[in-house]
Amino acid sequence: MSWLELTVLLGVCLVLAQPLGEYLAQVANGNLPSWTRWLGRLEHLLYRLGGIDPATEMDGKAYILAFVAFHIIGIAALMLLQEVQQWLPLNPQGFGPVRWDIALNTAVSFVTNTDWQAYAGERTLGYLTQMLGLTVQNFVSAAAGLAAMAALARGFVRRESPTIGNFWVDLVRATVYVLLPLSLVLALLLVSQGVVQTLSPYPEAVTLEGKRQVIAVGPAASQVAIKHLGTNGGGFFASNSAHPLENPTPLSNFLEMLAILLIPAAAPFAFGRLVGDRKQGWALFAAMAVLFGLGLGLALWSELQAPKLLSSLGVSGGNLEGKEVRFGVVPSVLFGQITTAVACGAVNSAHESFLPLTHLVFLFNMAMGEPIFGGVGAGVVTMVFYALLTMFLAGLMIGRTPEYLGKKLEPYEMVMTVVGVVMPALTLLLLTVLAVQTEAGRAGIAAGAHGLSQVLYAFASTTGNNGSAMGALKSDLPFYTLTTALAMLVGRFATLLPAIAIGAALARKRAVATSVTTFPTASVLFVGLLVAVVFIVGALTFFAAFVLGPVLEHLTLFGKGF
């Protein structure tokens, strides 16, 4: 049944991705199908409330300024909401203000589409803070990622244009026409499976031993839906999608995995449609799928090899440590591969308990900057960065100025590409060094290779705007709340701002005529080179860190007969 679930999930995702990608492109271009007219009233209402003129477009600088200002305002508002929640309604448990560094970390986390959590939601945040603060940011942070992707795509298709669209229009349309309808449908499906959705205070129960137990509840289903669809990942409850009130059944588990993967898998097709080359969308999707499949295969092989210690006790079926028995090994590994490749961060098992080679796969997924489907919009942006690097290397080999999708790639575009690829990786490594070289950093981790894996995972997750964590890391220590906040800001802005800048630069250029010397980018050869470039960049950047962390831990464990 586990293998059947895996096959059906990937098959359904493949069937839905292409038409959804076409729809995403229609939304970005404003060519909305007739059945969405009922949402048009909400769109225009938001324009009036925000003083937005949908007919006015922005140049690159204005688009970037709006993007940054929106994030800054969101961080300030969400931090303030956490600090005054004790005076606000819909706080039946009477939660007080959040510690300032955790409030800052949480605000940065949800505004940057990371949803890294240094707190337990059911013991920290009131219902209003969860709904007005976190859930709203789950919507708009995902919409901002789709806006950045649209701005980049317009750079390839426009000719000598000073503008690349309007950030506020892109934000509103992505929210109204994509995220809201899908979230409503998924929330209703999750409620039907038993995911809790209530504003009542926490009920109390008496256990069989006669002890009092408080059962945490709340408006979870509405947040769970968008946390998956928007590749956010922050759980309403501390144990995230391993919690029986957040993910109660095999069907809810299936729906949540599908929701995480669906929009990111559709985004390459949307990009292809936006640039006027559907085959290019298939090429990007194929490269992502190859990387995803290779990682999933290695992770499954790692977890299904029952450790010798367990085999000697007659235990078979793989490594069940840290996994929900109601899900099992294969769905847990599949969920972990999806959530780390897609930059979501939701978990249905304890990532701390996966074996070292599985940690290696998950680290690679996040550390590369989320090119393997990745976050909503941001994943395509990162894969386009790698595509530009591929074309640059191909141009060097044949002695020709590199070009991609009809636009020449000049020094400015390549510098921005390198910034988008290198800055998050450099931040990850520098913060890891700081953590293992300082007493404050070492206070939150285990000793040895596993401790290094914990730190690498934390900063790969935050610079990759993923949000999952190895649970034993003491993420609530001030050292980690502040350093991970920095990592999340770098991961967000150092990826999407260069993409918008590239889009603006390319939009001002003329198109380059295709000739017999033009390297075909919708070919098997290009897909193979693109996958190879991702691996080469990963090896050059992270080889030493990965060897000293998960690889060394693997050799140590199995060298001891584990």
Q: Is the dihedral of CA 478, 480, 483, 485 positive or negative?
A: negative
Overall pTM surpassing 0.85 (yes/no) = yes
Q: Are 163 and 510 in contact (CB under 8 A)?
A: no
Token digits for 341? 């490749």
Amino acid identity at 439: E
CB-neighbour burial class of residue 130 (10 A; exposed 0-12, middle 13-18, buried 19+): buried
Does the pLDDT of residue 314 top 80, yes or no? no
Average of per-residue pLDDT across 194-204: 93
Tens digit of pLDDT for each residue in 22-35? 999 999 999 888 88
Confidence of residue 359 (pLDDT cuts 50, 70, 90): very high
Residue 308, pLDDT score:
57
pLDDT of residue 520: 84
**To which residue do tokens 């789709």 refer?**
146
Maximal CA-CA distance, the chain: 80
Q: Is 291 exposed, middle or buried (0-12, 13-18, 19+ CB in 10 A)?
A: buried
Question: Please, what is the average pLDDT of the chain?
Answer: 91
* DSSP codes, 264-327: HHHHHHHHHHHTT-HHHHHHHHHHHHHHHHHHHHHHHHHHHS--HHHHTTT--SS--TTB-TTT
Both structure tokens of 254:
């299936």
User: Quick one: pLDDT at residue 513?
Assistant: 79
Q: Helix H segments across 30-135?
A: 37-50, 60-83, 100-111, 121-124, 127-128
560 contact partners, CB below 8 Å, separation of at least 6: none
- Determine the pLDDT at residue 369: 87
- The enclosing H or E element of 31 equals none
- From start to end of 393-498, where are the E strands? 403-404, 407-408
Q: Is it the case that residue 310 has pLDDT exceeding 80?
A: no
Least confident of 30-34, 140-144, 393-397, 513-517: 513-517
**Eight-class DSSP state of 87:** G
Mean pLDDT for 506-534 is 88
Residue 264 has which token pair? 């990111």
Q: Which is more confident, 160 or 447?
A: 160
**Which pLDDT band, with edges at 50, 70 and 90, does 312 fall under?**
low
306 pLDDT band, cuts 50/70/90, is low
DSSP annotation of 134 reads I
Please report which confidence band the pLDDT of residue 262 belongs to, taking 50, 70 and 90 as the band edges: very high
First to last CA, the chain: 28
Phi and psi (nearest 5°) for 57? Answer: -105, 165
The secondary structure element, H or E, covering residue 476 is none
Given pLDDT bands bounded at 50, 70 and 90, which one contains residue 295? very high
Q: What percent of the chain has pLDDT over 90?
A: 76
Split at pLDDT 50, 70, 90, the class of 233 is confident
Residue 3's pLDDT is what? Answer: 87
User: Does the structure show a pLDDT above 90 at 74?
Assistant: yes
Q: Count Cβ atoms within 10 A of the Cβ of residue 310 and give its class: 0-12 exposed, 13-18 middle, 19 or more buried.
A: middle
What local confidence, expressed as pLDDT, does residue 562 receive?
56
pLDDT at position 394: 83
pLDDT of residue 558 exceeding 80: no
Q: Please compute the mean of the pLDDT values over residues 78-97 and round it to a whole number.
A: 94
Contact 144, 64 (CB under 8 A): no
Tell me the pLDDT band of 318, cut-offs 50, 70 and 90: confident
pLDDT of residue 311: 58
349, β-bridge pairs: 323
Which of the residue ranges 19-28, 131-140, 194-203, 303-312 would you say has the lowest mean pLDDT?
303-312
Partners of 283 in the β-ladder: none
